[in-house]
Amino acid sequence: MDREVVEIIFQIIVFLFAISVHESAHAWSASYFGDDTARLLGRISLNPIRHIDPIGTLLVPALAMLVGAPLFGWAKPTPMNTLRLRNRVRDNMLVSAAGPISNFLIVFAVVIIYKIVLLTAGTNIPEESMLYPLTILLDMALYINVILAIFNLLPIPPLDGSHILEGFLPDSLQAMYAELRPFGFLLLLAAMRFLDLGVLYRPVIRFFNYLLYAGV
């Protein structure tokens, strides 16, 4: 099979797995802190069908691949009733942070597995090796999960970063910040159009690559 086709397939698999873990982490942590809304709706699941958003999971990633941009997007938001949380402000921040944290945990697991492969087989794995497709998959997993985590930490509604930032704001500024929510998608499009988001995720990818190849 052509390498380009293999990479596209692997990107789709990794992306769907990454968003499923991300949203499951939101749902599980919300249930842990007192709100079982998402859990009762079956959102603690690695089945991507439960998390698919037509725009964020299908359209945006397809357009990104079409124009050669980094694969990114989002899943269907995990429903949460903040009034049921034991500590509304703190727990809302923690539930929001759970998604990106879960993606970083995947990255650490990928680095460990990948490092074992490199220590066992060396850094120059030939294409005919059975391990070669695994290295492509691990590369994709590291890259996509870092981008997904960083992207969701942007303080733009309705991304996770906006909920985390909101928790640090005084009440007066929270009300002003909430007024931006109806314009969140437009702000997000503007950020993707005019900002170089690579400035945020490239240093993180370099850090994990350093951990991966150090001592190999």
Q: Give residue-wise pLDDT tens across range 53-102.
A: 888 888 888 887 787 777 777 889 899 999 999 999 999 999 999 999 99
Angle of the 132-152 helix axis to the 198-213 helix axis, nearest 10: 140
Torsion of CA 14, 16, 21, 24, to 10 degrees: 180
* pLDDT exceeds 90 at position 158: no
Window from 17-21, 46-50, 64-68, 147-151 with minimum mean pLDDT = 64-68
Read off the pTM: 0.91
Compute the distance between CA of residue 97 and CA of residue 165 in angstroms, rounded to an integer. Answer: 11
- Of the segments 14-18, 61-65, 127-131, which one has the largest average pLDDT value? 14-18
46: helix, coil or strand? coil
In this prediction, residue 139 carries a pLDDT of 94
Contact by Cβ (8 Å): 9, 17: no
Confidence of residue 128 (pLDDT cuts 50, 70, 90): confident
* pLDDT exceeds 70 at position 29: yes
127 assigned to active site: no
Residue spans of alpha helices (H) in the chain = 3-32, 37-40, 60-67, 88-121, 132-152, 160-168, 171-178, 184-194, 198-213
Residue type, 191: A
Catalytic residue among 4, 7, 23, 179, which? 23
23-36 average pLDDT score:
97
* pLDDT exceeds 70 at position 206: yes
* pLDDT exceeds 80 at position 199: yes
98-125 average pLDDT score:
94
* pLDDT exceeds 70 at position 1: no
What is the pLDDT of the chain when averaged over all its residues? 90
Compute the distance between CA of residue 73 and CA of residue 55 in angstroms, rounded to an integer. Answer: 8
In this prediction, residue 104 carries a pLDDT of 98
